[in-house]
C-alpha cells in the first residue's frame, strides 16, 4: 500500500472520492477513514525507521539493508498462509488487533529511545513483526470490504481506497521528512503508533 521511500513519489493524477452511495454507507466510510490514517502513519515510519537506525544507533549500510529486508521477508513468508488463516476468523477483529499490535510495537521504539535502551535488535524485531501484522490487516481488509459494500459498488469502493492511498502516500512523503526533522526519528514513529490507534477506533465503530 505504500511507496518505497527510496524512490521519488509520483503525484496522483486523480483522487477518486467515494460516491454518494458509498458516503451513505457508514461502515465503508469508517473503513476508508481507518485506511487513510494508517497509510499516512505507515509511510512516516517507512521514512523514519532507517533514520532511527542511522542517527540513534549509528547503523551502517549492512544494518540498514538488513532492516529493509526483514520486513519484506516477514511479509512474504506470512503472506502464503495469511489468507487461509483470515478466512477462518472474523475479519474486523483481525484488523483491529493488527492495528493495536502495530501501535504497541512501534510505540516501544520512542519509549526505548527516550529511556536510552533502544537497540538495533529491537528495531529489527519491531520492523518484522509489524510487517507480519500489516500483512494480516491487508488480507483482512480485502476480505472484509465485500461484506460491507454491495457488488455494484465494489469496484468504485476499491477505486476510492486505492486513489486515496496514493494521494496520502504522496502527501506523507513530505510530511515524514518534516516530522523527522522537527521531532527526531524515534518520536516521529510515535505519530505512526497513534495513527494505528485511531485506525482501530474507526474500525471499532
CA dihedral (184, 200, 90, 151) positive or negative = negative
Q: How far is CA 148 from the centre of its chain?
A: 22
User: Where do the H-state alpha helices sit in the chain?
Assistant: 20-23, 26-51, 61-87, 91-115, 120-148, 151-183, 185-204
Reported as a single tens digit per residue, the pLDDT across 153-182 is 888 888 888 888 888 888 877 787 788 888
Question: Is pLDDT of 91 > 90?
Answer: no
Confidence (pLDDT) at 137: 81
pLDDT tens per residue, range 20-69: 667 788 888 888 888 888 888 778 888 888 888 888 888 888 888 888 88
Between the alpha carbon of residue 91 and those of residues 41, 81, 82, 95, the distances in Å are 22, 15, 12, 6
The pLDDT of residue 190 is above 80: yes
Residues above pLDDT 90, as percent of the chain: 12
| Whole-number pLDDT of residue 12 | 43
202: nearest Cα among 130, 131, 148, 133 = 148
CA distance 53 to 59: 5
Residue 6 has pLDDT above 50, yes or no: no
For residue 11, the model assigns a pLDDT of 44
Mean pLDDT score of the chain: 80
CA dist., res. 68 & res. 45, Å (int): 12
Question: When comparing pLDDT for 137 and 82, which is higher?
Answer: 137
For 95-137, the pLDDT digits (tens) are: 898 889 999 999 999 999 988 899 999 999 998 888 888 888 8
pLDDT of residue 105: 93
Confidence of residue 1 (pLDDT cuts 50, 70, 90): very low
Residue 19: per-residue pLDDT: 63
Average pLDDT over residues 72-83: 74
Element (H, E) at 18: none
Distance of CA 39 to the CA centre of its chain: 5
Provide the pLDDT confidence category of residue 13 given band limits of 50, 70 and 90: very low
Amino acid at each position: 500500500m505504500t511507496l518505497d521511500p527510496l524512490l521519488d513519489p509520483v503525484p496522483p493524477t486523480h483522487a477518486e472520492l467515494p460516491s454518494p452511495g458509498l458516503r451513505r454507507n457508514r461502515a465503508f466510510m469508517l473503513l476508508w477513514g481507518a485506511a487513510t490514517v494508517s497509510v499516512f502513519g505507515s509511510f512516516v515510519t517507512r521514512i523514519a525507521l532507517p533514520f532511527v537506525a542511522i542517527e540513534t544507533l549509528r547503523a551502517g549500510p549492512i544494518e540498514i539493508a538488513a532492516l529493509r529486508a526483514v520486513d519484506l521477508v516477514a511479509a512474504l513468508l506470512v503472506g502464503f498462509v495469511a489468507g487461509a488463516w483470515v478466512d477462518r476468523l472474523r475479519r474486523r477483529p483481525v484488523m483491529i488487533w493488527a492495528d493495536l499490535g502495530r501501535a504497541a510495537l512501534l510505540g516501544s521504539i520512542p519509549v526505548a529511545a527516550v529511556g536510552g535502551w533502544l537497540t538495533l535488535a529491537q528495531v529489527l524485531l519491531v520492523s518484522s513483526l509489524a510487517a507480519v501484522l500489516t500483512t494480516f490487516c491487508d488480507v483482512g481488509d480485502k476480505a472484509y470490504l465485500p461484506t460491507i459494500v454491495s457488488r455494484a459498488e465494489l469496484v468504485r469502493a476499491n477505486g476510492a481506497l486505492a486513489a486515496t492511498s496514493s494521494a496520502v502516500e504522496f502527501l506523507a512523503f513530505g510530511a515524514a521528512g518534516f516530522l523527522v526533522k522537527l521531532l527526531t526519528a524515534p518520536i516521529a514513529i510515535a505519530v505512526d503508533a497513534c495513527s494505528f490507534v485511531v485506525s482501530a477506533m474507526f474500525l471499532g465503530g
